[in-house]
Structure 1
Amino acid sequence: MALSGAERARRYREKKKAAGLHELIKKQDRKRKRIARSKMSLAKLKQLRLRQQTNLHKFRSKSKLSSTLPSPPDSSFRTKQSKSKALNRILNVLPANKGKQFELIKEIATNLKIIEPEKKFERTQKSLSTDVKQQIYDYYFRDDISYQAPGKRDSITIKENGVKKKLQKRYLLYSLNEIYQMFAEENPQVQISCSSFKNLRPCNVLYKSATPHNLCLCIYHENVSLLLHAIDEHIHGIKSIDLNLFIKLLVCNDSQELCMFSNCNQCSNNFKISIQDKIINPSAIIKWSLWSTSNEGRTVKTDYEGTVQNCVNILKTKINPFLFHVFIKRQQSNYFEMSKKNVTDEKCVLQVDYSENFSIIEQNEIHSAHWSRKQLSIFTAYVWSQSKTYPLVIVSDDSSHDKFTVGKCLEHLFTRLKILLPSMKELIIFSDGSASQFKQRFLFKNLTYLANQFSLKLSWNFFASHHGKGNLGVVDGIGGSSKRTVYQDVMSGKRCRNAKDFLHLIEQKNSLIIIDELSPDEIELGRDELGLVFNQVKAVPNIQKVHSINVIDIDKIECISCEFTDDIYSPNDLWHILKESHDVDSAKASDWFDLELFTAHMINMNKNEQLLQKLLRAGYFYVKSIMRYV
């Protein structure tokens, strides 16, 4: 191996010392340096003396420091071979990656205090309180923020305190930025950044982009969204705008009734100012799509082509009903959340729905069995009280969802609730507006008998049209969880042949779900009993617009409906319409008058005036009426 320059010089001096020439060389060197100094000028000589003094001072300081420190031994190993073997053993166990080797060796050196550990400078920040974190966590689980997937396979496994746990998936209805803005508006006292808000998203609450094939969307929202998507590049300032921002663009305050009902003088022209007056090229040809009902009665998505002006005109016709619908939807969702917060042991909230029927399957089934599967009906419910909440399921071999089955399910459910909540006196019920199951005159009349039978004050509220999916997340999750539990048992070799087996498999898991069986014999017996109740039931006018009913007495309910109309009525107009078709002069309090446009109830009789129970709005009207079944 080639020697370095310093090593060659050292070897040269050692050879001269061995030959006895060292002193001769030093003498010749002193003579050479003396001659060189004699030829120097005074300035250069002065610089040389100064440099020599500085070097001598450094040498003496270094010698003094080294003399005070004990010289470490050259090696703790006796021989070079033992040191080499130990080093090879260490190198053999190190990972092959150089970065990992460096990290491990650095960690060992730090532990042995050979090198000092690196100081990490962390930014000091105020941590969020537990109450704020819980508030944000609960906000993500609100039914108007995310909806719970109903399928038995819609679950996600997480680790909580080292234990695996299965949770039902939920999908956000808006983007995270939109949800953060909504939370900030509702809770201005909470100071939190957008990134921290996003980091607190629960693991089972998935992004909007992860939502599977969307079904059961609202036709009001979807049609307006399709029109906005078609014109967003042809109007200044609305590119890629979402529906929430679009609503704020049209009204002063999206929580005010006057603004959302287009009765506000300040924002009545906002559509013209923000949309119509900002069209880039009104005659440009564009394409758009709309959901509508075909001549065959099917709902189809139809494509159109026309100018930007035509598309904007169509959008204008849909704005008033859209804003009206959004306000009603939000008010109902707020009422639902408020009702859950204000429950007591005497005043409870109940949510009900039918889950998708469960198909009975067998592990390792033959081909023909796939096409002849029996189905079980799953009726789900969830009740909130101040002391406790209960998830409930009623399973039946009868897969029909008609008025008789619904009636027996409700009777069975109320019987169970009276056992679980003996102090319950009032029950507020929420459901979707399915005409074949819940929003029907037969259910309304049956509720009056159930209220009397169980001594309960009953009211039933229906979610806004096409918005039952989000608000029914809890009961959808109960159905999906129970079906998933049974499905996993069947896949492991157990058998589920009927509703009784379904019930036993759930009970064996020690599930929190309270499950009961409703036999077909009970339903058949109920058909005879309910047949007498359902006989000659009067139709409820505009039942599609009914959003809430209150049971007053047997055969008497109060219906609260909300309807959009272009007609404007004053109290005098309504009174004249009533006088033209009915003999009101001889009317008494509690008389009933059925009209084509509304149902009026005479609630007070005076000599000079008759008061109608009405709430009117210009361009819109609420109908609050009392119907008597005879």
Structure 2
Amino acid sequence: MESKVKVVKDFYNREDISVQSAGRKDTLIVDGEIISKRFMLITVSEAYEVYKNEIIEESVNISTFYQYRPRHIQLSSKTPHNMCVCIYHANFGFLLEGCAKIIKSVPRNFQSFLQTICCSIEDENCMTNGCENCTKDLKNDIVPVAYLSKMNENVKWQHWRKVDDRIILTYTVAPLSEIIHELEVQLPLFKQHFFVKRSQQNYFESVKNNLRPGDLVLQIDFAENYRLICQNEVQSAHFNYKQVTIFTCVAWMFDKTKSLAVISDSLNHSKIDVHLFIAKIVQEITHQHGNFQNIFLFSDGSSSQFKNKFIVWSLPDFLVQFGCKTVEWNYFATSHGKGAVDGVGAVIKRKIRQITKTKNIILSDAFSFFECAQENITGIHSMYISDDAINASSPTLMEKWKVIPNIPGIRKLHSISCDDHLKLKVAQTA
């Protein structure tokens, strides 16, 4: 039974089941240790359906699955408002819940629903709407005849909408026929999103779990800027505070894992910053652990930071600079880029806040923040790059990037690699 309990707990901690909070206050004390909270991406019952389908050899009943949810794994309903929610999954889930209020046979679980209407959720042709055999007419194919008379019955459901450049949660009351029509409208895009999310997450886990000597996996992201404050600041200081950029990274190697952060007073979060921060991180890791043959980068798909032609055409430069055989960059699906890397930023900010309060230390700029982190935070290797250093490197990069070609359809691409022939290979998924 102990082995099953461990499997269940490990399952709850999977990146496709829960994500670590980036909030410095989202912590719990478990067995005397401060642990960052993780928030579930789906309900426990939906997670159990995934568990049953994927982990057959360690099967447990649903009550046991509920019982052994770790304390730091919080329910999806408790997700803070400042954590990003996937609008595709949320809105499609609301529609399924609305449908199921009347048609009890409609699955509330995304995967179960897609398995009902698609030939195979593993088939890219099916999930990208190229299959003629997959269900498209939901009213005729999934609504039982007994419910056709209830098409005009009103249903209330939630919906995330954009109003005046803000995303707000609204409520809609409309006939069942309208909610089914809305499902049909959203279905093609949701299928693609679901497939990309699942493919990229599975590939990420596969690469991490099958590392060989010479492999290096990096998950990177910008943490929310840290605001430099002191306990008794005057009112004018409150409105004229400085900020610090924290670029975070978790590195997985064959026999070890390492957390790193680049601290900077540059607040641009630009493509130039990204290029230089990655170079700094890899240089530090190779200095400590030697060169790597294969480097795998994972990030979200922010077009201003990571997913643009400038960063993509940096891959051949990285390959030469780092002396490796392949460099690969994989992008998670929209709103699904959270992971262990978010915990790095949360830990740094929480510990710096504790140190400055308890020791009455005043941090005046990004460099003093870096020094404080370097001296007081163990387990996270901190580095510093100044805005002046970034500006000094900027002309060289911008001159090089003047002549690079566009990448057709880059928004739909989620996997880009460069081999030792310095040729780029692109794909919709890994």
For normalisation by structure 2, the TM-score amounts to: 0.90
Residue deviations 1:529-555 (CA, integer Å, cap 9, x gap): 212221132221121111111124687
Separation in 1, partners of 2:14, 2:387: 36
Out of 281, 286, 300, the residue aligned to residue 418 of structure 1 is 286
Q: 1:190 to 1:229 in 2, by over 3 A?
A: closer
Which residue is equivalent to 2:355?
Answer: 489
Separation in 1, partners of 2:158, 2:10: 37
Conserved in 2, the CA contact under 8 Å of 1:276 and 1:312?
no
Matched, 1:399 2:399: no
Which residue is equivalent to 1:550?
Answer: 417
Separation in 1, partners of 2:170, 2:44: 31
Which residue is equivalent to 1:200?
Answer: 68
Matched, 1:502 2:369: yes
Matched, 1:152 2:24: yes
Which residue is equivalent to 2:148?
Answer: 279
Separation in 1, partners of 2:149, 2:229: 59
Give the letter for the 2:23 counterpart.
G
SS of aligned partner of 1:353: strand
Which residue is equivalent to 1:326?
Answer: 194
Shift of 1:247: 2.7
Separation in 1, partners of 2:421, 2:309: 14
Q: 1:133 to 1:276 in 2, by over 3 A?
A: closer
Q: 1:554 to 1:502 in 2, by over 3 A?
A: farther
Conserved in 2, the CA contact under 8 Å of 1:549 and 1:559?
yes
Separation in 2, partners of 1:384, 1:205: 23
Separation in 2, partners of 1:416, 1:501: 21
Out of 309, 333, 342, the residue aligned to residue 476 of structure 1 is 342
Q: 1:171 to 1:299 in 2, by over 3 A?
A: closer
Is there any run of 5+ residues in structure 1 with no aligned partner, and where? 1-127, 563-623, 625-630
Conserved in 1, the CA contact under 8 Å of 2:138 and 2:180?
no
Q: 1:175 to 1:214 in 2, by over 3 A?
A: farther
Conserved in 2, the CA contact under 8 Å of 1:393 and 1:516?
yes
Separation in 1, partners of 2:139, 2:192: 15
Which structure is richer in relative contact order (CA contacts within 8 A, separation 6 or more)?
2
Give the letter for the 2:199 counterpart.
Q
Give the letter for the 1:530 counterpart.
L
Conserved in 1, the CA contact under 8 Å of 2:136 and 2:184?
no
Shift of 1:283: 3.0
Out of 215, 230, 246, the residue aligned to residue 113 of structure 2 is 246
SS of aligned partner of 2:196: helix
SS of aligned partner of 1:279: helix
Shift of 1:316: 1.2
Conserved in 2, the CA contact under 8 Å of 1:251 and 1:270?
no
Which residue is equivalent to 2:7?
Answer: 135
Matched, 1:450 2:318: yes
Q: 1:224 to 1:276 in 2, by over 3 A?
A: farther
Shift of 1:560: 1.5
Residue deviations 1:286-324 (CA, integer Å, cap 9, x gap): 565655567x77666676665432332232122222122
Larger radius of gyration: 1
RMSD over equivalenced CA pairs, Å: 2.7
Q: 1:306 to 1:154 in 2, by over 3 A?
A: closer
SS of aligned partner of 2:57: coil
Shift of 1:137: 2.5
Q: 1:276 to 1:198 in 2, by over 3 A?
A: closer
Shift of 1:523: 0.6
Q: 1:195 to 1:276 in 2, by over 3 A?
A: closer
Conserved in 1, the CA contact under 8 Å of 2:158 and 2:171?
yes
Out of 82, 85, 89, the residue aligned to residue 217 of structure 1 is 85
Separation in 1, partners of 2:138, 2:97: 19
Q: 1:180 to 1:302 in 2, by over 3 A?
A: closer
Which residue is equivalent to 1:581?
Answer: none
Matched, 1:174 2:42: yes
Separation in 2, partners of 1:176, 1:291: 22
Mean alpha-carbon deviation: is it higher for 547-556 or for 203-212?
Answer: 547-556
Q: 1:137 to 1:305 in 2, by over 3 A?
A: closer
Shift of 1:412: 0.8
Conserved in 2, the CA contact under 8 Å of 1:397 and 1:498?
yes
Separation in 1, partners of 2:251, 2:114: 34
Conserved in 2, the CA contact under 8 Å of 1:355 and 1:476?
yes
Separation in 2, partners of 1:255, 1:512: 39
Separation in 1, partners of 2:72, 2:409: 40
Identity %: 30
Out of 322, 326, 340, the residue aligned to residue 208 of structure 2 is 340
Residue deviations 1:535-592 (CA, integer Å, cap 9, x gap): 1322211211111111246874222237xxxxxxxxxxxxxxxxxxxxxxxxxxxxxx
Conserved in 2, the CA contact under 8 Å of 1:345 and 1:421?
no
SS of aligned partner of 1:482: helix
SS of aligned partner of 2:69: coil
Residue deviations 1:475-521 (CA, integer Å, cap 9, x gap): 10000001111000111112222223222322333511011111122
Residue deviations 1:346-401 (CA, integer Å, cap 9, x gap): 01211000000000011222222111110000000011111111000000111111
Give the letter for the 1:503 counterpart.
F
Which residue is equivalent to 1:115?
Answer: none
Which residue is equivalent to 2:331?
Answer: 462
Which residue is equivalent to 2:380?
Answer: 513
Give the letter for the 1:282 counterpart.
M
Q: 1:286 to 1:183 in 2, by over 3 A?
A: closer
Give the letter for the 2:70 counterpart.
P
Separation in 1, partners of 2:59, 2:317: 51
Which residue is equivalent to 2:248?
Answer: 380
Out of 404, 407, 410, the residue aligned to residue 537 of structure 1 is 404
Q: 1:214 to 1:378 in 2, by over 3 A?
A: closer
Separation in 2, partners of 1:191, 1:220: 30
SS of aligned partner of 1:247: helix
Is there any run of 5+ residues in structure 2 with no aligned partner, and where? none
